[in-house]
């Protein structure tokens, strides 16, 4: 039994999901003729109370398309220093859009209105025009921390007043919403565009959806083509995504429970210096390198068939997911509780 805690992207489609994929009604999506893709796009647009949506191969693509549509070359966007769009998208902000990122030091990866306000550039010839704010929910690099609506709404209000666009990298938005019990419709009201991933905690093999108003999605579709993301009979994948949205959202709380148990277990271990707060399905902790280094820890667990991800020097990330069973969880806790 291999236990893979490197990411919630390692899941494989269950037989019911595969059956839903087999039943897809596909067509050439570049001509807009794939019924299953159209169904997914309508479903997700309605879910967030928006006019339109666009199915894309990855969350990197949905984020990068949004940045491209919302900005002009030479502009600046504001995001937290932990943001996925900055750290893990291959420099795409500058590569694709000719835009620079101003990195803000938020709290557990989260921005607030005053931090944003004091970083919006004034209208001078020599300053870079600020045109976009990007939030991430949950914040991957900050240990899966959550924005509540009462934190997002004042940011949305500020962006509206200052005529800035507001994009949400919601790769793990549903992990946040099952905890806050807030509605997708309320989230939809706050943002100009939202990206959700179907292949993270939700368990679909491929795909992300970008959601916004008609004009935004019209432009986004052109950019998707330029980025090489125009797909043909991809309805098989869209059906997997629909299945994931309909069946795998509410169960995310089980992943969170397991992650919190791992966090609690690590809390009082001599080989651990610090565990970040566990809010959802991500556990990030710093080892005490005098006792065990990141490399040694990784090797020790690998010997027990447990895969984990190094997240910087002597820092480890473990992510719980759909395919991480109770039995696996018991084994992991036993090993973490042993003297290693």
Site map (CB under 6 A) of ligand PLP, residues 6-25, x = contact:
--------------------
Question: In sequence order, what are the residues at sequence separation of 6 or more whose Cβ sits closer than 8 angstroms to the Cβ of residue 226?
Answer: none
Site map (CB under 6 A) of ligand PLP, residues 242-281, x = contact:
----------------------------------------
| Minimum gap (Å) between residue 86 Cβ and ligand PLP | 11
Measured at CB, which residue is nearest to ligand PLP? 59
Does the protein bind ligand PLP through residue 169 (CB under 6 A)?
Answer: yes
| Minimum gap (Å) between residue 147 Cβ and ligand PLP | 12
Residue 79 DSSP SS3: strand
| Minimum gap (Å) between residue 57 Cβ and ligand PLP | 8
Query: Near ligand PLP by CB under 6 A, which window of 12-20, 55-63, 71-79, 184-192?
Result: 55-63
DSSP characters for 191-246? Answer: -SEEEEESSSTT--SS-EEEEE-HHHHHHHHHHHHHTT---SSTHHHHHHHHHHHH
Single residue of 80, 108, 136, 192 touching ligand PLP by CB under 6 A: 136
Does the protein bind ligand PLP through residue 221 (CB under 6 A)?
Answer: no
d(CA 116, CA 262): 34
Site for ligand PLP in 69-98 (CB under 6 A): 84
From the number of C-beta atoms within 10 Å of its C-beta (0-12, 13-18, 19+), residue 247 rates as middle
Does the protein bind ligand PLP through residue 317 (CB under 6 A)?
Answer: no
Residue with tokens 């090993």: 335
DSSP characters for 140-169? Answer: GGGTSB---HHHHHHHHHHHHHTT-EEEEE
d(CA 187, CA 246): 18
Query: Near ligand PLP by CB under 6 A, which window of 52-60, 184-192, 317-325, 330-338?
Result: 52-60
Which contiguous run of DSSP H or E holds residue 41? Answer: helix 35-47
Query: Near ligand PLP by CB under 6 A, which window of 56-64, 108-116, 152-160, 185-193?
Result: 56-64
Query: Near ligand PLP by CB under 6 A, which window of 59-67, 227-235, 270-278, 291-299?
Result: 59-67
Single residue of 146, 155, 159, 171 touching ligand PLP by CB under 6 A: 171
d(CA 54, CA 45): 9
| Minimum gap (Å) between residue 60 Cβ and ligand PLP | 3
Name the DSSP letter for residue 251: T
Residue 140: CA atoms inside 13 Å, Cβ hemisphere, count?
21
Q: Could you tell me if 236 and 57 are in contact, meaning their C-beta atoms sit under 8 angstroms apart?
A: no
Site map (CB under 6 A) of ligand PLP, residues 138-167, x = contact:
--x---------------------------
Residues of this chain that bind ligand PLP (CB under 6 A): 58-60, 63, 84, 136, 140, 169, 171, 197, 200, 208
């Amino acid at each position: 039994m291999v236990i893979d805690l490197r990411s919630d992207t390692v899941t494989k489609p269950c037989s019911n999901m595969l059956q839903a994929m087999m039943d897809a009604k596909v067509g050439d999506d570049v001509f807009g003729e794939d019924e299953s893709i159209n169904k997914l796009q309508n479903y997700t647009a309605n879910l967030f109370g928006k006019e339109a949506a666009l199915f894309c191969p990855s969350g990197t693509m949905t984020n990068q398309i949004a940045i491209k549509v919302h900005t002009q070359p030479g502009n600046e966007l504001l995001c937290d220093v932990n943001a996925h769009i900055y750290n893990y998208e291959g420099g795409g902000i500058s590569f694709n859009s000719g835009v620079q990122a101003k990195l803000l030091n938020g709290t557990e990866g989260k921005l607030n209105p005053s931090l944003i306000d004091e970083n919006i550039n004034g209208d001078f010839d020599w300053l870079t025009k600020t045109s976009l704010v990007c939030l991430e929910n949950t914040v991957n690099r900050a240990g899966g921390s959550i924005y509540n609506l009462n934190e997002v709404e004042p940011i949305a209000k500020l962006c509206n007043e200052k005529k800035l666009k507001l994009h949400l990298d919601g790769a793990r938005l549903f992990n946040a919403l099952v905890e806050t019990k807030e509605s997708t419709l309320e989230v939809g009201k706050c943002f100009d565009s939202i990206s959700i991933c179907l292949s993270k905690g939700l368990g679909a093999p491929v795909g992300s959806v970008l959601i916004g108003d008609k004009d935004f999605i019209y432009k986004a579709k052109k950019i998707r083509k330029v980025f090489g993301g125009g797909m043909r009979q991809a309805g098989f994948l869209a059906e997997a995504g629909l299945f994931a949205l309909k069946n795998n959202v509410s169960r995310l709380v089980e992943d969170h429970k397991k992650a919190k148990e791992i966090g609690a277990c690590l809390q009082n271990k001599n080989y651990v210096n610090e565990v970040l707060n566990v809010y959802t399905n991500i556990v990030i902790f710093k080892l005490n390198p005098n006792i065990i280094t990141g490399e040694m820890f990784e090797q020790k667990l690998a010997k027990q068939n447990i895969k984990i991800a190094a997240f910087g020097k002597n820092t480890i990330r473990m992510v719980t997911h759909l395919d991480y069973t109770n039995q696996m969880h018991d084994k992991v806790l036993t090993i973490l509780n042993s003297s290693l």
